[in-house]
Structure 1
Amino acid sequence: MPSVYVNIKPEIINWVLNQIQDDILEENMINNIKAWLNGTKTPTFNQIEDLSRKTNIPLGYFFLQTPPEEKIDLLEYRTIDSIQLAKPSRNLIDTIYHMERIRDWMKDYRLEMGFDILPVVGCMENVDDISTITKRIRNDLELNETWYELCSNTREAFNFIRDRLEACGIIVMMSGIVGSNTHRLLDINEFRAFVMVDKWAPIIFINATDSDGARLFSLLHEAVHIWIGKDDLFNDRYDITNGVSSTEKLCNAVTAELMVPKDIFINKWNEINETDVFDTITRLAKYFRCGEVVIARRAKDCNKINQDVYNHVVETAIENYNKIKEKQEDNGGNYYNTMISRLDGCFVRALCESINIGRTSYTEAYRLTNTSPKTFAEVAQRLGGMLW
């Protein structure tokens, strides 16, 4: 079958090159692109299709007359300035787009079904007192000061808070990949989480490639953003202490108080009274069911440790995280448990109800959840959804 040649505008090719990381294309592809741009060669449809796959840029974009305008408002709310986020990856962009579709679906559903706006969204807007915000969130989530004692470990603590947020109507999604593509891994160096604030359907997305302790911090951090009514793209590595906005400092402080109440922390620290400060941090991380970096940051803020100790804890946590990730990649995991962890229970149950009343098609449900018919039915059942 003869090759089909296509005319692609040079400005489209240049736009594509500006969207991707420098090292994702092979030398042969780069040479072809140079030839297309200088006019010595014309691309074939198969070559453009191949370029679309490798760059994760939709095929249709290549045939536009002018580059598409992809205005991603969420990037304006990133926690810290980042050269990397100045050119966000297609993985991040596509994940944001997918969460926007879920948010929009859930908002339309709740509006049509007569739901009221969620009272927690923006209820602490323009409040800058840490204690006031903390008390309000504890009250709304029905958390006592020592809620973490109800959990046996950090993962249970994450699921506990997630359940409380879902009970408030907040959508919590989590994944370490784009859609169902296991070859498109999300990078915690680019972002840890993000939140889209909406009166009817606020949505938190957690990067599942992160550690258990970091996920818990991110979840509560983004929850605080919902209470103060401000979007956020959380790309803080926790080892950066300068250059963050006043809003982020406030959210970090409230998150720390929710996870590790200051008065209890100081009492526990003094009770342990170990000569080895690192052992103290480890013991307190187990007690508060959180990551050691959170304890180290609390200790630093309370003048219990210096910056060098804090930096060492962060470096060690990153090393341990990398070792754990290697083991997880070797061992794999339970498919259905993974799928369930990615999806919000309220969202799936709403989908099932919408399907049952003829408002939503099965095809749309599969698309929104990145599942197949068999997988959706199983996951829906496990999350309490009923399909007739």
Structure 2
Amino acid sequence: MDTLNISPALLDWAASQIGKSLEDLASLVVSGKGIDRFVVGELTVRQLEKVAKVTHTPFGYLLLDTPPSIAKPRLPDMRQVVSPDPLGPDFFEVLDDVIAKQNWYLDYLHDIGADPLPFIGKYSTSDDPCLVAKHITETAGIDFALKKSCANQSEYFRALSESFESIGILVFKNSIVKSNSRRGLSVSEFRGFAICDEYAPAVFINGKDAEAAWIFTLAHEVAHLWIGESGVSDIPSPKDFRPGKNVESFCNSVAAEMLVPKDEFLSLWAGSEIEAIDRASRHFKVSKLVVGRRAFELGKISRSAYSQLYALSYKSGGSGGNPYATIPVRNSKKVTNALVKSAMEGSILIRDAARLLNITPDTVTNLYKKNIRAYA
């Protein structure tokens, strides 16, 4: 079979798009002595086709002499983990997808004469995190009664998402790229991101992350909106925990105060560490990890105790479930409802609504039939 001479620099670039080294990519495509030929750019057409598939790179790009200069959406990288995996094509495809939905919704809001949201960028990192947290909870109507109405953390996450969407924030949570179950998102790359906009701010939660992290990530990304700072975020492990005066640490502090208010938390802290953490977890409807993080910040437990909670809490989430329940969660309930309603009214073609929601036209119609009262 004929051998192609491919630029090693181009192959290295393709590998970096999925957070791999050239050698790592070679081992995914070939084996044995083929690895030595691969790293110097000697590949067959079939091997190059596999590279394109594995790295989600257009085949034509791999025939160039130098890596292409691809303009990617600009979103500040605010991740705190030391040497995180590079943001790859899965992340950027998800970001493109969210931006496409956000842009459509902006046009929709313009058509109905919506007003800008007053809370975007209302505060800055020079303000008191407790003040910002108080304003967020009051604006979104988040109080103890809301917590009490939820039987568990999953219900509380759903309630928080609905509260934030009710004031104009688009909340997306997905564990895969669009609707492709074969392309699971990487927690090593990112846990969430926020896109500020005065009319249609958006936050995305990586559903592949542990369920224990969803609530904190949601609160953290919403805090980004209140200080007008878009960005990609993660949640640092205990070894990466670096409090300081920066956007990420500020948003962490706001999120912590939103979910586990300091004074209320301290009034509950009694007995052994295990008892106190368990009691606070039930009271605040958040995971033991979130409580442990708060306890560590306030000097109630050691770093090693927090590390143990961290290790026990992180188990990847999934993407299963009833599609008619998961589609609005993946695409923002607010956006989904607006698209389905517009499609049924003829303001947008059903096929275009389906494309934006990454579903079939029949599914758009079925969504309407299953929830017809919401579109009345």
Runs (5+) with no aligned partner, structure 1: none
Q: Distance in 2 between matches of 1:63 and 1:101?
A: 30
Aligned counterpart, 1:216: 215
AA matched with 1:338: T
Aligned counterpart, 1:199: 198
SS of 2:282 mapped into structure 1: helix
Aligned counterpart, 1:241: 241
Alignment pair present for 1:361 and 2:361: no
Alignment pair present for 1:27 and 2:15: no
Farther-moved stretch of structure 1 (16-25 vs 261-270): 16-25
Aligned counterpart, 1:296: 292
Q: Note the 1:140-155 alignment, pairs <5 A.
A: 140-144=139-143, 147-155=146-154
| From 323, 339, 351, the counterpart of 1:351 | 339
Q: How many residues align?
A: 369
Q: Distance in 2 between matches of 1:296 and 1:267?
A: 15
SS of 2:171 mapped into structure 1: strand
TM-score after normalising by structure 1: 0.83
- How much does 1:382 deviate? 4.5
Asked whether the equivalents of residues 186 and 208 of structure 2 are also in contact (C-alpha less than 8 Å), the reply is yes
Per-residue CA distance 1:348-372 (angstroms, 9 max, x = gap): 1221343345443222222211111
**Cα 1:378–1:246, aligned 2, differ >3 Å: closer, same or farther?**
same
The percent of aligned pairs where both chains have the same amino acid is 28
Asked whether the equivalents of residues 173 and 331 of structure 2 are also in contact (C-alpha less than 8 Å), the reply is yes
Runs (5+) with no aligned partner, structure 2: none
Aligned counterpart, 1:256: 256
Alignment pair present for 1:111 and 2:114: no
Q: Distance in 2 between matches of 1:217 and 1:91?
A: 23
Asked whether the equivalents of residues 29 and 50 of structure 2 are also in contact (C-alpha less than 8 Å), the reply is no
Aligned counterpart, 1:68: 69
**Cα 1:139–1:93, aligned 2, differ >3 Å: closer, same or farther?**
same
Farther-moved stretch of structure 1 (27-36 vs 163-172): 27-36
Per-residue CA distance 1:42-82 (angstroms, 9 max, x = gap): x54x65444322211234544668613233422x3323154
Asked whether the equivalents of residues 94 and 178 of structure 1 are also in contact (C-alpha less than 8 Å), the reply is yes
**Cα 1:225–1:90, aligned 2, differ >3 Å: closer, same or farther?**
same
Aligned counterpart, 1:123: 122
AA matched with 2:363: T
AA matched with 1:315: A
Aligned counterpart, 1:307: 303
Farther-moved stretch of structure 1 (185-194 vs 144-153): 144-153
- How much does 1:245 deviate? 5.2
**Cα 1:78–1:30, aligned 2, differ >3 Å: closer, same or farther?**
farther
**Cα 1:308–1:387, aligned 2, differ >3 Å: closer, same or farther?**
closer
Q: Distance in 2 between matches of 1:4 and 1:336?
A: 49
AA matched with 1:296: G
SS of 2:269 mapped into structure 1: helix
Q: Distance in 2 between matches of 1:108 and 1:71?
A: 22
**Cα 1:81–1:264, aligned 2, differ >3 Å: closer, same or farther?**
closer
**Cα 1:379–1:358, aligned 2, differ >3 Å: closer, same or farther?**
closer
RMSD: 3.2
**Cα 1:386–1:155, aligned 2, differ >3 Å: closer, same or farther?**
closer
AA matched with 1:345: K
Per-residue CA distance 1:288-309 (angstroms, 9 max, x = gap): 1101111112112222222221
| From 274, 280, 286, the counterpart of 2:276 | 280
Per-residue CA distance 1:257-314 (angstroms, 9 max, x = gap): 11111111111113xx2x3x22321232122110111111211222222222112211
Asked whether the equivalents of residues 117 and 199 of structure 1 are also in contact (C-alpha less than 8 Å), the reply is yes
Asked whether the equivalents of residues 352 and 386 of structure 1 are also in contact (C-alpha less than 8 Å), the reply is no
**Cα 1:17–1:258, aligned 2, differ >3 Å: closer, same or farther?**
closer
**Cα 1:7–1:201, aligned 2, differ >3 Å: closer, same or farther?**
farther
Q: Distance in 2 between matches of 1:372 and 1:313?
A: 42
- How much does 1:19 deviate? 2.2
Aligned counterpart, 1:339: 327
AA matched with 1:27: V
Q: Distance in 2 between matches of 1:33 and 1:71?
A: 32
- How much does 1:5 deviate? 10
**Cα 1:343–1:194, aligned 2, differ >3 Å: closer, same or farther?**
same
Farther-moved stretch of structure 1 (211-220 vs 47-56): 47-56
TM-score after normalising by structure 2: 0.85
